[in-house]
Amino acid sequence: MVLITPSGNYFAIIFSLFLVLPLSVYGQANGDGTVLEVGASLSASDNSRPWLSPSGDFAFGFRQLQNQTDLFLLSIWYAKIPDKTIVWYANDGQPVIRGSKLNLTADTGLLLTGPRDEQLWKPSESVSGVISNGVMSDDGNFELQGSNSDVLWETFKDPKDTLLPAQTMNRGGVVSSRQSQTNYSVGRFRLSLKQDGDLQLYTVNLPTENPNKAYYASKTTADQSNSSSAGVQLVFNQSGAIYVLRENDERSILKQAEPVSMRDYYFRLTLDYDGMLTQYAHPKNSTANSTWTPLWSVPDDICREASVDSGLGVCGYNSICTLKEDKRPTCSCPKGYSPLDRIDIYGDCQPDFPQGCAEDELTSTPAKDLYDVVVLINTDWPSSDYTMLKPFTAEKCNETCFKDCMCAVAIFRDGTCWKKKLPLSNGRVDASLNSQAFIKVRKGNFTPQLPPFPFPNKKKDQDTVIRVGAVLLGSSVLVNFVLLAAICTGFLFIYHRKHQSTPIHKLQTNLNCFTYQQLEEATDGFKEVLGKGAFGIVYKGVLRIGESGVAVSVAVKKLNCVVEDSEREFKNEVNVIGQTHHKNLVRLLGYCDEGHNRLLVYEFLSNGTLASFLFGDVKPSWNQRIEIAIGIARGLLYLHEECSSQIIHCDIKPQNIILDEYDNPRISDFGLSKLLMMDQSQTYTAIRGTKGYVASEWFRNMPITAKVDVYSFGVVLLEIICCRRSVDVENVSGEEKGILTDWAFDCYQGGALDVLMNSDEVLENRTKLEAFVMVALWCIQENPCLRPTMRKVVHMLEGVVEVPVPPCPSPYSTTTITIPSQKIN
């Protein structure tokens, strides 16, 4: 049907219909904003159109995250500027996957659900009343209104990291920073108008909300001396001014900026992820090169002012805060330390070497030969002291730290020396300090050496020498000559007998060679069993080391089925293993090669295996699992590419990952496959490894490469993510869930990672979760050519490179091999 006007201008009518079409789709516009009726919805997809404000300045909907094709953030953003800056977000900043929906309902107001209709988020405050509609206004506020247009809930009363013009915050209100530029989860910085009327910036010690001392305050509490009343409201008015409104209607401007036209610029006040509170302006008629310009920010020196007595300031542990020319902070790791998360520069730094009393006691090497010193000027970690020495000199300050196994850094200033231990907190560079920082850094790849066993008693030897000397001095020359000849003959005889009777030789490493009897005594007759496996049985023992006879717990493994007639091969392989040194490998301290007895002596780690950690009654936290997974990957990378001879583990599983006292993962049994007979196996086939962790090439007569470890790691990674065993038909409901690798791909492909996880805590980290699942799926590809190297795995887990979408891990049968086009190395 064609409508014809008296003038015959039907083109005008058609054009007018197109003009009003968007409003009929999104809602009707009135003077207050775009109105959405109950029943309106949005979906997380490429073609989803947001709810726009009447002017089109603001949009409410699903924003696709940068470089993430299937992740969306339910948010409000500036719609007309190139970078689409986000000013509010739901679901605690956690993105949702493709297919999620937002519905405007009469009872909850807004309801965010996943692809399977599982509830993900609704407004935190219960909405009292029946919702009639939603309104998206031109000031960036989204309201839920009742039948009388009364506001039942609004985003302006639920601020995240940004305040907008026309927005206010009353006493008790809080603004929280995000964690990083791309991570919208709640960070550790807060802006709050306290009940006493003071506006404060402060940090909290996550995951709690316990506040540290304020690093900025507006000083708007009541002051009777000058008749000032307390602040009642933080106001960001339509003219761009930001002030604390007092009870007597006085205004305390936070900071005066150069006047900028509200007609020509957008404004926002943001608590950035670096802790700075900044007012920004952006031209409305922007070009592709237009950016947000900071008008002012507080505080002036956040590195110094955000320092706290306990907890973190701007930067993570062991990091250093430095002010840039624009007075914004940046963080860096000192030499010998590296970031835990290479993407987050404001995170923690970790030492690249072992340090501590337990490490130093395992060697008799002087500290000056173990460590180098890195000197930094005007740098300090003011809240990590454990000793102050005064008066002192710089040379003595450096020396005393070298000799103290607890000391990581010594700070010298004005004749005073402060010794500090790890972790170091609130590090900063400050020209006013006039100080020197002496940082201990371990030299090279050093492996501690156990002194020979049994250890001689130094005092007893000295007494013997004195007695022999007295006899010699009291005798005639002839008698002395005869005695000396007899002593020399005796030493030669003992030396000859010793080397003929015991085939034990010191390897060209820092390892110690033990006799079987010594290890039998150390383990009390191999009494306490720590674990059993295909390679042998592990017993707990105690050795006394050092001149002071310090007792050190060790784990002694008795090997089974060692290759016959292979004494030289055994020693060569132990030599290779003994030269490895990495913080994610269990350290080999010594060995026994006596007759048919082959034993290895490892450091004892107190927290047991990863299996007991993952599959117990209490699940470890998501952050713990992230660090464990990355640590295992780094250890395998070292074995495959960074040690002197490539080592393929061949049996990566949670039972072979041991946790130290800090829950850092250490790979054990690495290199043992080279020491054992070819038919040694824990499965029903003549292969290496354990059922559920074995790569397909073992069954296909294909070459065995380091990619078999990559496959096993992928299975272990899924177990770490889900805290369940790879094969567990008895304890899960449904046959389809029995094999973890198959079920994980089904859940990933169906967008049901929440079903895979079944954990509220992990769902709060959905971006990291999805990335880790995708990495695991790449690792368990049946075609080894498609599996990434461990170096690539580490980079993907750390977020250094993007994780591509993985194909099905089992795309072919046992007789047909089809290689997908996508491949990562």
**Annotated binding-site positions:** 558
Topology of 21-158 in CATH?
Agglutinin, subunit A (2.90.10)
Q: What is the predicted pLDDT for the residue at 674?
A: 55
- Report the pLDDT averaged over residues 633-644: 85
pLDDT in tens, 236-274: 988 888 999 999 999 999 887 777 778 889 999 999 999
pLDDT in tens, 503-544: 333 434 467 888 899 999 999 999 898 887 666 788 999 987
% of the chain surpassing 70 pLDDT: 76
- Report the pLDDT averaged over residues 327-331: 92
pLDDT in tens, 56-95: 999 999 998 877 778 899 999 999 998 899 999 999 898 8
**Strands 199-203 and 34-37, how do they pair?**
unpaired
CATH class of residue range 320-442: alpha beta
Check for a shared fold between 21-158 and 161-299: yes
From 651, 669, 709, 754, active-site residue: 651
651 is catalytic: yes
Full-prediction pTM beyond 0.85? no
CATH 1.20.1050.10: does it fit domain 161-299?
no
More confident: 566 or 182 = 182
Residues 46, 120: Cα–Cα separation, whole Å: 20
Q: What is the predicted pLDDT for the residue at 779?
A: 94
Residue 548 to residues 29, 401, 455, 459, 551, Cα–Cα distance (Å) = 84, 21, 10, 11, 9
Q: Which helix (H) or strand (E) holds 481?
A: helix 477-501
Residue 652 to residues 608, 632, 677, 690, 810, Cα–Cα distance (Å) = 16, 10, 18, 8, 21
Residues 27, 40: Cα–Cα separation, whole Å: 9
* pLDDT category of residue 36 using cuts at 50, 70 and 90: very high
**Annotated binding-site positions for ATP:** 558
Q: Which residues contact 604 (CB under 8 A, 6 or more apart)?
A: 540, 552, 553, 554, 555
As a CATH number, domain 606-825 is 1.10.510.10
Lowest mean pLDDT among 136-140, 173-177, 570-574: 570-574
pLDDT in tens, 292-305: 999 999 999 999 89
Residues 359, 550: Cα–Cα separation, whole Å: 13
Which residue ranges make up each domain of the chain? 21-158, 161-299, 320-442, 606-825
